[in-house]
Amino acid sequence: MKKFSVTLGVAVMVLLSVSCTKTLLSLFPGFDVKVPDMQVTIPAIPIVPADEVELGSFSMHFNLDSTIKSNTSNVFSISSVSSMKISQVQVTLSNGNVLNNLSNFESVRILISSSYNATETELVNLSFPTTESYTYTSSPTNAPDILGYYYGTEIRYRLFGKLRKPTTTSLNLTMGVTLRVN
């Protein structure tokens, strides 16, 4: 009987431990995190190519695990996260003018890779209006889950664009991205 009681006690403790861990993980609050802005200088493109062209690339160091711990008082870590997607992206040209602005581009898309996952995937694809504009904000509804890229701490982005009309000067583009961590 004593052996049975000890075995039952150990079994109950294991079940409670697993149950408490699952309960704790189900309480993960989820939050939005703004990653450092991507800055790229796009060279002047005096002709309109038939296909999209690479506009630039950007690399940054980002430690998602530290960000999660600091936003949750060290209660949760990256292992508590089930998904991460873009909730908002804002594109800004700081030196655009009437002839050189976002309307020069039909679209831009960004590919992401990282030190953890070198396979590039499309992060976002944006279509710009035909009217003169210097800032564009979008909240993608079909953003991919990119959590697997942020297990690494070196994040790489490549920017591609399809031109609508030529540009006559280099353009300083800043892209701000907000991620939803769940």
Helices (H), 27-161: 64-71
pLDDT of residue 72: 85
Average pLDDT over residues 99-104: 98
pLDDT of residue 101: 98
Cβ-in-10-Å burial (0-12, 13-18, 19+) of 93 comes to buried
Q: In sequence order, what are the residues at sequence separation of 6 or more whose Cβ sits closer than 8 angstroms to the Cβ of residue 79?
A: none
**Binning pLDDT at 50, 70 and 90, where does residue 3 land?**
low
**Structurally, how many domains does the chain consist of?**
1
pLDDT of residue 133: 98
**8-state DSSP, 44:** P
Q: Which tokens go with 18?
A: 């697993």
pLDDT of residue 29: 80
Strand ranges, E, within 45-170: 53-61, 84-93, 105-114, 121-127, 135-138, 154-163
- pLDDT higher than threshold 80 for residue 78: yes
Coil, strand or helix: which one is 14? helix
- Average confidence score pLDDT of the chain: 88
Q: Report d(CA 129, CA 33) in Å as an integer.
A: 27
pLDDT of residue 5: 52
**8-state DSSP, 149:** G
Share of the chain above pLDDT 70, in %: 85
Coil, strand or helix: which one is 102? helix
**Binning pLDDT at 50, 70 and 90, where does residue 149 land?**
very high
Q: Quote the domain boundaries for residue 54.
A: 30-181
Q: Name the more confident of 68 and 110.
A: 110
Q: Report d(CA 177, CA 151) in Å as an integer.
A: 18
**8-state DSSP, 27:** T
Q: Report d(CA 55, CA 44) in Å as an integer.
A: 10
pLDDT (tens digit, 9 = 90+) per residue, 51-73?
A: 999 999 999 999 999 988 988 89
**The domain that contains 41 carries what CATH number?**
2.60.120
| Domain assignment of residue 25, yes or no | no
| Domain assignment of residue 16, yes or no | no
Average pLDDT over residues 75-92: 94
